[in-house]
A and B are shown apart, each in its own frame.
Chain A
Amino acid sequence: MKPFTWLAPDTTAGAVAMLREHAPDARAIAGGQSLLLALKDRSARPTHLVSLSGIDELTGVRTADDGSLVVGAATTYAVLARASLAGWHGVLAEVAGDLADRPVRNRGTIGGALCTADPRYDMPAFAIGVGAGLRVSGASGDRAVAAEDFAEGAGVTALGPDEILTAVVLPPLAAWDTVAFEKFRHRVFDAAIVSVTCALRQGPDGTVAETRLAVGGATPVPVTAPVAAALLAEGASAAEVGTRAADEVLPGGTTGGEAVRYRHELIRSLVRRAVDRALSDVRTV
């Protein structure tokens, strides 16, 4: 670790101003669960750390007037895991409570996961999978970004140097009837090798009206599989959807190296499981 100056603003605007003032080597820090490791081995050397954890407006979960769920970017996994959230919003709590380990969940935040943009992290994939929107504040004002447009590569986001991710907004409950999240990892606290989010909405006649599939871990940023997802409404089986999703996410995945073929296989299996679970959820509702 190298010496740095610790700054603790109490408003988002203050934080943005500090990032701007101390550019280019100022960094925002929320839970620090990725950044601290980089600081420790000196692969990150910020001169100033702008802490977001004391900014009230960045923490907590609330339901907006339109029914969307607004999650402060600096809300920790532990808080999310304990939150009682209605309907499929509750899957957010389940995902937050079943990643990394307890110390990481106590410090790590949903916004931190999105900004770190590790291809294997659950939260970016989940946000894309449910069609979440992100709110960003910067020196030039506030803007909204779709979750799927936020990560631009492994570890790279659309965030400008003096911008802060302020909230993750899940669409209203009516957007989906159910959401199923599946992942596979080595050890219980490891990041997922592949994760799959399946969001599903029925039409008035009980058939599948809309399906959204997102796959994390297999590509530099989590991606959706719209072609495979559309098959479900056409009556394809979960297994067929899985096979199609694997080819869609990893074209040529059956002929690559072992690591590529394995991810291709996992996409097939996990999409099938997620779709099966989503379908059984809506049928029992």
Chain B
Amino acid sequence: MTEAPPRSTTGTAPRRLVGTSVPRKEDLALLTGTARFIDDIALPGMVHAKVLRSSLAHARVRSVDTEPARELPGVLDVLAGAELVGKVKPWGDLMQDLLVGDHFPFATDKVLYEGQELAAVVAETAYQALDGCEAVAVDLEPLPAVVDPEVALRPDSPLVQEGIVYEFGDGNIFDRYKVRIGDFEAAEREAAVVVRQRFATNKQAGAALDPHGCVASYDSFTGVLTLYSSTQSIYMVRDVLADVLQIPRTKVRVIVPEVGAGFGSKAQIFGHEVIASLFSMRLGRPVKLVLGRGEIFRVGTTRNAQVRYAELAMTADGDITGYRDYVVHNTGAMSVWGNQVVHIGTNVGMLPYPIPNIHVDSDIVHTTTAPGGPLRGFGIPQVIWAKEQLVDMAARELGLDPLAVRARNVVDPEEFPFRTPMGHIIDSTSIKQCLLASADAIGWTAKRAAPVPYEGLGLAVSMKYTSCRHPSLDTDLSAVRLRLETDGTVTIYSSDVSHGQSHATMLSQIVADGLGVGIEKISLAPPDSMTAPFGLGTYASRGAAVLGTACRLATERLRDKVLAIAAHVLEVGPEDLDAGNDRVYVKGLPDSGIHLEIIAATAAYRTHQLPPGFEPTLETVATYDTPTEREASNGSGNLSVTYSGAAHAAHVRVDPDTGQITVVDYAMVHDTGTVINPLIVEGQHQGGFLMGLGMALSEDYVYDEDGHQLNASFKDYLAVTAPDVPELTKIYEIPAPSTTIPGGQKGAGESGTGPVPAAIGNAVFNATGVRFTILPITPQRMLIALREKERRGVATIRYPDDMPDFTGPRTPEEWPRPTAADGGDFDFDFDWDAEEDTD
């Protein structure tokens, strides 16, 4: 044994890591290509499955004959819908606590959307499985497709879901939602101006680069089904899968490899996970089933497209006194999360204004399009797109500065916590400072005073929930288990899947500070339902705040145990001790004390040296459920534990020859509370902005009238790429630490998305006089709108729904008909053959 180095009497105080840009622990594997994603998994004896999907969007299933596929070389098994009826339990949304069994591994009697599963084949190779799929004989009777959600509302519309009687719906309306706060009609009477507009939003893809997919491996000896899956939530997949298969949850194990993003599109169980599991159980062999990009576009969940008939009431001074909206919410043919999106999006989307009078009705409808679901922002970007443009429209009518109107209205209470009329409990916020800082950063005052032709500035503000107690899911918890290993290293167990959020780094920073252990000694175990404590998963921007709090609690418990052992050995009180530099020491002497390694080994291997009555080993677990509320019947409630502020300012330039919109400059000022790792949070904001930019300018599902998606590939789907992104040099934080969350954190993942379409929409209006009422604002739409404005000889125009003189509607029927179509006529509608016909 070597002699200990000489000790200084003071030593070096341990450095706190929370709040610093610790390099991401995840990056080495990702950047060297050694990270293992779902398609990298190869198990001994593994075979390959492929799914035969419907090429029609809406059809009666006459027959599916799997026999010809069974004859082919390499084919091991074939499944289709009819034989599973009664053996496999349907799954679906929990709607107002009622289970809607609208999901099944395969279509049985009816196909509801293009790409729906009809049969599946498992074979020795993926190519043989594809051959098998081609051999399955399918007889479908086409039915008329329903692509437009407003057409789906009509009594004479073809019915999408026939087999389910909805408790709260009617026809294609499968659920309704309403908000009644205050008295909008009174606000309307007293307002100086009420602005009204019909706004439509787009159907955006998650477009995660890592495909949806899984490997199922059933052990016929233990009866345990292990599912490796690219998912955001292991327990949601485990619990639903066990229920679908009607086997105990102890017999289903879900493990997650590296996940290359999800954005909400992997926050549920999918048919392919059930199909691979069934095949593996039938064959007793591991089965890989990874979806291709075209399949992911068609069956992975999308942002819910909405039509909003929105109205905003404002007093002459610029006070926002009321908001009324009728929302047609399109969740596609079926949806696990779709109806939740309009609830939470609307509730939280009212922020950052404490609007006293709110009246919202929504019809949540099925169409024969791809399933809707959660996607970065969860309904909030759609609301902000409408509401923040209405704010600009009202300000303009009253001759007020949009910045001043916002500054006057954003929630800025004298005292916290502050409860808004909608029910949000604002525990802290700096949204007003964020707003002013964003305007300042873009040069608002000077540039608005000296307009440049075809350039413009726009603002938008939002507050995004941090965590969420969903109306259908009365829980908002995460958990962490920590183990101080016998060599002084630490393992973190969590079921909340990190898929870009850097949990390994962020949680290690919390543990490092609490336990005084070097961050290099801390590891995050891969999510595994056999070892991880129960948690809901990674969505709703809940990682840093909810999972982080669970981690903080578990760390405090572990620290208490460690200090108790050290106090016993050093014969001092635990209150005199501190932890740092990989040891526990008497306060003020950070280079002295006992190494954690010794304490950890003592707790496991020298239990006689432990304090009397001490329960050996060093392992703690903590679960944190947020103090959020359930949604009240009037739609109010504090559904989120705290709220992240986002104030964005856009500077755009429009090319009047091509319609191209360039974001010249963009400022984002956020309140993310106490930031654990600024590097990670900045990355989240950049990514959030990119997704908002795609929603604003280019991305949408384009369907033909038969419900075929025309752009189901990365070649045709206009996802944002690096050259489209402005230099994002103006990303600032004005932290207002949460007082509800012990560490002060707020959610980071989604606040970068919400304001982007509205900020750009407002900037485009400022640049061109065109108020877009539809997303995305493509160059085509921009140029055609400019020409229409010129043709009419007007200074401003709303496009495509131009109804500026309209006042006083209540029901959608009273709204004027749109003056131009908002469906179709996207670039992919261009048909060279049709042109040939007209020549």
Interface residues of A (CB under 8 A from B): 1-3, 37, 41-42, 119, 153-154, 184, 186-190, 193, 218-220, 250-252, 256-263, 265-266, 269-270, 272-273
Contacts and interface: CB of A to CB of B under 8 A. Distances in A.
CB-CB nearest 9 A-B residue pairs: A269-B657, A258-B825, A259-B830, A262-B780, A220-B832, A188-B723, A184-B658, A154-B832, A259-B829
16 contacts: A154-B833, A187-B698, A190-B718, A218-B835, A219-B835, A219-B836, A251-B839, A252-B838, A257-B824, A257-B829, A260-B830, A261-B784, A262-B784, A265-B783, A270-B657, A272-B657
Interface string B803-835: 000000000000000000000111101101101
Q: Tell which of A153, A184, A252 has the most Cβ of chain B within 10 Å.
A: A184
Chain A interface SS verdict (over half)? loop
B784 to A, nearest CB: 5
A32 B657 CA distance: 35
Contact of B827 (A41, A193, A261): A193
Given A250-B835, A269-B658, A258 B127 contact: no
Kindly name the residue among B778, B780, B835 whose own CB sees the greatest number of chain A CB atoms within 10 A: B835
Interface residues of B, number: 33
Contact of B780 (A37, A259, A269): A259
Contacts of B127: 1-3
A266 B721 CA distance: 23
Nearest to B791: A254
B194 interface: no
A184 B660 contact: yes
A187 B721 contact: yes
Contact of B784 (A250, A252, A258): A258
A214 to B, nearest CB: 16
B659 interface: yes
A134 to B, nearest CB: 21
Contacts of B780: 258-259, 262
Contact of A259 (B657, B827, B833): B827
A119 B832 contact: yes
Given A257-B829, A259-B826, A262-B784, A186 B779 contact: yes
Contacts of A257: 824-825, 829
A259 B832 contact: no
Most buried by A among B715, B718, B826, B830: B830
A220 B826 contact: no
Contact of B833 (A193, A218, A220, A252): A220
B342 interface: no
Nearest to A254: B787
Contact of A189 (B721, B781, B825, B826): B721
Nearest to A273: B657
B835 A220 contact: yes
B724 interface: yes
B130 interface: yes
Contacts of B657: 269-270, 272-273
B698 A186 contact: yes
A41 B294 contact: yes
A119 B836 CA distance: 12
A262 B659 contact: yes
With most chain B CB atoms within 10 A of its CB, the pick from A154, A187, A190 is A187
A266 B835 contact: no
Contacts of B824: 257
A219 B830 CA distance: 10
Interface in B705-741: 715, 718, 721, 723-724
Contacts of A256: 838
A153 B833 CA distance: 9
Contacts of B825: 257-259
A223 to B, nearest CB: 10
B832 A219 contact: yes
A242 B154 CA distance: 45
A1 B126 CA distance: 10
Nearest to A118: B832
Given A218-B835, A219-B832, 5 more contacts: A219-B839, A220-B832, A258-B825, A265-B783, A270-B658
B352 to A, nearest CB: 33
A93 B830 CA distance: 29
Nearest to B830: A259
A12 B657 CA distance: 45
B457 to A, nearest CB: 24
Contacts of A251: 838-839
Contacts of B827: 186, 193, 259, 262
Contacts of A188: 721, 723
Nearest to A242: B657
A256 B830 CA distance: 11
Contacts of B835: 218-220, 250, 260
B724 A266 contact: no
Nearest to B130: A42
A262 B658 CA distance: 9
A167 B351 CA distance: 64
A154 B836 CA distance: 10
Nearest to A184: B658
Contacts of B658: 184, 266, 269-270
A262 B783 contact: yes
Given A154-B833, A250-B835, A187 B787 contact: no
Contacts of A153: 836
Nearest to B828: A259
A232 B715 CA distance: 38
Nearest to A40: B292
Contacts of A37: 715
B225 to A, nearest CB: 31
A109 B665 CA distance: 38
A153 B784 CA distance: 28
Contacts of A260: 830, 835
Nearest to A250: B835
Given A220-B836, A269-B658, A187 B829 contact: no
A262 B294 CA distance: 28
B718 A186 contact: yes
B346 to A, nearest CB: 31
Nearest to B722: A188
Contacts of B660: 184
